[in-house]
Structures are given as C-alpha cells and as structure tokens.
Amino acid sequence: MQIDKTDLGNSVTRLKLAGRLDINGSAMAEIPISLAAKNCQRLVIDMSDVSYVASLGVRHLVMAAKALDRGGGKLVLFSVTEPVAEILVTMGITDLIPMAPSEAAALVLA
C-alpha cells in the first residue's frame, strides 16, 4: 500500500492510496489516515488506485470520519472503483463517508 499526502491549504488534506487495503495494507495506512484526520478539518481520499478494501481498512476510514466529525470536519472519498464501491455501499458507510466521482466534487462535498 502506497500513501501520498498533499496539503491543499485551507485545512484540507488529500491522501492518495494505491494498492490493496487488506490486512497488510490497512496496517500501513492506519497511522497516516488517523494523523491526517487529526491534523486537518477536511480530508479527501483518492481511491482510484485502490483495488480492494477489507473490513479492517474500512474501519480505519470510519474511525477517521468519526474523529473529523467530532471536530466538525468531514471525510470524503473520490474516484472509488466499482468493486470497492460495492463493498462500501453494502457496508452502508456512504451515509457517513460520501463518495464523489472526482476530486473537485469531493472538495465541494467536504
């Protein structure tokens, strides 16, 4: 799992995840995601290169969303691939963590 962080200014951070958010990927992504959620107000995550999410990976996303929500912030995912979107929709997290088709749309939602 590769993770790139970009500070977009105005308390907005973009994370780009690439790879599988399985057990190993989730372990690598846990700290960067939680740190990003702690240090910004709005977090957008590029999921275009994420081919798979496991339960643990989604839990990290949910925990980040909770942390942001406590501070009045928001987490939005964008460019989510179809297989990953199916899992996220079935899990029902899209009410808490919206999915946007592009970065621009994600920044609007956030």
Residues that bind other proteins (CB under 8 A): 22-23, 53-56, 58-59, 62, 66, 69-70, 83, 86-87, 89-93, 95-96
Q: How far is the CB of 103 from other proteins (least distance, A)?
A: 25
Task: Show the CA angle centred on residue 79, arms to residues 77 and 83, nearest 5°.
Answer: 95
Nearest Cα residue to 25 out of 63, 51, 62: 51
**Cβ 7 to other proteins, closest distance in Å?**
26
Which lies closer to other proteins via its Cβ, residue 15 or residue 84? 84
For 3, 21, 82, 90, 91, the CA distances from 33, given in Å and listed in that order, are 9, 12, 22, 22, 19
Q: Which is nearer to other proteins, 14 or 45 (CB)?
A: 45
User: What tokens does 40 get?
Assistant: 């910004």
CB of 73 to other proteins, least distance (A): 13
